[in-house]
Amino acid sequence: MTEVEAKKPQESLQVRLAQVVELLQRHKVVENLTHRQEGINHGRVENLVHRQNLAELQRKLDELHSADVAHILEALPLDDRLTVWQLVKAERDGDILLEVSDAVRETLLADMDDHEILAAAREMDADELADLASELPRDVVHELMETLDAQQRERVRSALSYEDDQVGALMDFEMVTIREDVSLEVVLRYLRRLKELPGHTDKLFVVDYDGVLKGVLPVKRLLVNDPDKQVSEVMATDPVSFHPDEDAYVAAQAFERYDLISSPVVDKNGKLIGRLTIDEMVDLIREESESEVLNMAGLREEEDIFASVWKSLRNRWAWLAVNLVTAFMASRVIGLFEGSIEKLVALAALMPIVAGIGGNSGNQTITMIVRAMALDQVTTGNTSRLIRKELGVGLVNGIVWGGVIGVVAYLLYDSWSLGVVMTAAMTLNLLLAAMMGVLIPMTLVRLGRDPAMGASVMITAVTDSGGFFIFLGLASIFLL
C-alpha cells in the first residue's frame, strides 16, 4: 500500500468519533421523517437535508487517516458501521480492512460483494494478502491468486505456510538490498533511482550474489560516513536476524529489548527472504497483552463490543461451563457438611468469607506468576523460592486478616472457638491459594498451554472448594 505522511489530527479521536456519531444521528432522524411523510409528498426538502448530511459525513471521513476510520468503525454499532463503510471511498477499503480488528473485519467483508473484495485486495502487498486470505471467500482468493505474478504468488504461498505466531507469517518483502563491494556514493545514487523507499527502512540489507545476508547498512551510517568508503567497511556484520519458523513473540521481545526498527529474516542457509518491522511487532505486543487479560477472565478471544448476543455467548460459554462444573463441585463439598450447618447455621454465613479472600489472594498470586512467565523470568531453578515467598505472604495475610475476621466472628456469635476455627481456616486456605497460584500456571505451561488460560476460573475453583472443605471440616471436628 502507498504510504502517506500522517498529518496532525485537529481534534482528538474521541471528539472525531462523537462528530461522526452526531452526523449519523441527524441522518437517521431525517430518514425517519422522510419515511413517515412518503405517503403525503416526496419529502423533497428532507431528502435534500439527508443528502447534505451524508455529504458532510463523507467529507469528514475523507479527511481521516485510514487507521482513524478503522477505529470509528470499531466503535459503531453494526447498522451505523455499515452506513459509514458504504461512504468510504472504494480505494481505501483495503487499507481500512487491514487496520480493523478481526471481529469487525468479518462484519465489513460480509457487507461487500466479491467484486468489491477483489478490487480492495488488488491494492495489497503479498504479506497483507496472506494476512487476510483466511477470511476471504474461497473463490475470491482463487481468482486473486491468478491475477498475481509468479513472485507475488510465491510470496503469498510462503507467508500462508506459517502459523500465525511464527515470524514467517508477519514478515514483509519490501526490502532494499545492496552489495558489499560498492561505495556509499553508489548506494546513494541507487536509492535516488528508486524514487521511493519502503516504510520503516532504517537499514539496507547487504547480500552476496546468492542472496545470502552478509550484514546490514544502517541508514544512519550511510548518512554520516564518507561516500567514498565501501559498504563492507561501514556495514554491521552479524546483525540481529530471525528465521521464519521462530516464535514471533520472541522476535517482538527482541525488538523491544534492542530497540530495533527493522530486522532481516533469513532461511537456514542464511539467504535473505524477508524482513520484520517494528509496527507489526507493536501490534503483536498489544495483542499478546490483550489475550493475557482476556484469557485470565475466561474469554476465548477478542470480541467486537457490538457483536450480536449470539456471538458473544459463543465466546463466553466455554469458561462459564467450566465454572458451572467447579461451582457445582464446591456446592457438593458443602453438601457433605449439611449436618454441621444444620447444627450451627453461623457456618453458612461465615464460609463465603474464607472462600472469597482465598480467591482474591490466589488471583493476585496467579497474576504475578503469569506475568513473570510472560517475561521469561521463571525458570525451574527458582520455582521453590517463588513458592516459599508466596507461602510467606499467605501465612502473614492469614494470621493478620484471619485474626481480624476471627475476632469479628467471636463478637458476632459470642464463641471464641468459632473465631479460632475461622482464623485457622483462613490461614490454611490462603496457603492453598499461594501454592496453587504458582503451580497452576506452571502446570499449564508444562502441558504446552497458555499459562493465563482461564487462570482466574481455575484458582477460584480451588479456593472455593478448598475453602469450604477446610472451614466446614475444622468446624465439624472442633465445634460439634
Q: Which residue of 85, 173, 205, 319 would you call a contact of a copy of itself, by CB under 8 A? A: 319
CA distance 188 to 223: 9
Q: Closer to a copy of itself by CB, 141 or 204: give it.
A: 204
Pick the stretch among 113-121, 125-133, 397-405, 439-447 that binds a copy of itself (CB under 8 A).
397-405
Among the listed residues 391, 467, 462, 460, the one whose alpha carbon sits nearest the alpha carbon of residue 424: 467
Smallest gap from Cβ 210 to a copy of itself, in A, equals: 20
Please name the residue ranges forming H helices in 346-382. 346-374
Amino acid (one-letter) located at 152: Q
DSSP for residue 241:
-
* 357 makes contact with a copy of itself (CB under 8 A): yes
Q: How many CA atoms lie within 13 A of 246 on its CB side?
A: 19
Q: Closer to a copy of itself by CB, 40 or 375: give it.
A: 375
Pick the stretch among 133-141, 165-173, 384-392, 443-451 that binds a copy of itself (CB under 8 A).
384-392
CA distance 426 to 470: 9
CA distance 268 to 426: 56
Q: Closer to a copy of itself by CB, 269 or 379: give it.
A: 379
* 102 makes contact with a copy of itself (CB under 8 A): no
* 228 makes contact with a copy of itself (CB under 8 A): no
Q: Which of residues 13-42 bind a copy of itself (CB under 8 A)?
A: 13-14, 17-18, 21, 25
Pick the stretch among 43-51, 128-136, 145-153, 259-267 that binds a copy of itself (CB under 8 A).
259-267
DSSP for residue 197:
P
Q: Which of residues 402-421 bind a copy of itself (CB under 8 A)?
A: 404-405, 408, 412
Strands 203-207 and 213-218 come out as: antiparallel
Pick the stretch among 53-61, 84-92, 119-127, 213-221 that binds a copy of itself (CB under 8 A).
213-221
Q: Closer to a copy of itself by CB, 158 or 465: give it.
A: 465
Q: Which residue of 44, 115, 192, 268 would you call a contact of a copy of itself, by CB under 8 A? A: 192
Nearest-Å Rg of the Cα atoms of the chain is 30
Q: For residue 194, how far is the Cα from the chain centroid?
A: 36
Contact 434, 391 (CB under 8 A): yes
Smallest gap from Cβ 372 to a copy of itself, in A, equals: 5
* 55 makes contact with a copy of itself (CB under 8 A): no
Smallest gap from Cβ 45 to a copy of itself, in A, equals: 27
Q: Which residue of 34, 225, 232, 383 would you call a contact of a copy of itself, by CB under 8 A? A: 225
Smallest gap from Cβ 93 to a copy of itself, in A, equals: 18
Number of residues that make up the chain = 480
The contacts of residue 147 (CB under 8 Å, 6+ apart) are 122
* 298 makes contact with a copy of itself (CB under 8 A): yes
Q: Which of residues 261-280 bind a copy of itself (CB under 8 A)?
A: 261, 278-279
* 312 makes contact with a copy of itself (CB under 8 A): yes
Contact 322, 299 (CB under 8 A): no
Helix/strand/coil for 46: helix
Smallest gap from Cβ 222 to a copy of itself, in A, equals: 8
* 6 makes contact with a copy of itself (CB under 8 A): yes
Q: Which of residues 151-190 bind a copy of itself (CB under 8 A)?
A: 188
CA 408, 361, 429, 333 dihedral sign is positive
Q: Closer to a copy of itself by CB, 43 or 398: give it.
A: 398
Q: Which of residues 324-343 bind a copy of itself (CB under 8 A)?
A: 324, 326-328, 330-332, 334-335, 338, 341-342
From residue 191, how far is each of 177, 198, 211, 395 by CA, in Å? Answer: 10, 11, 19, 66
CA distance 473 to 90: 69
Q: Closer to a copy of itself by CB, 138 or 195: give it.
A: 195
Q: Closer to a copy of itself by CB, 157 or 316: give it.
A: 316
Residues 311-332: b if buried by 16+ CB within 10 A, e if exposed: eeeebeeebeeebeebeeebee
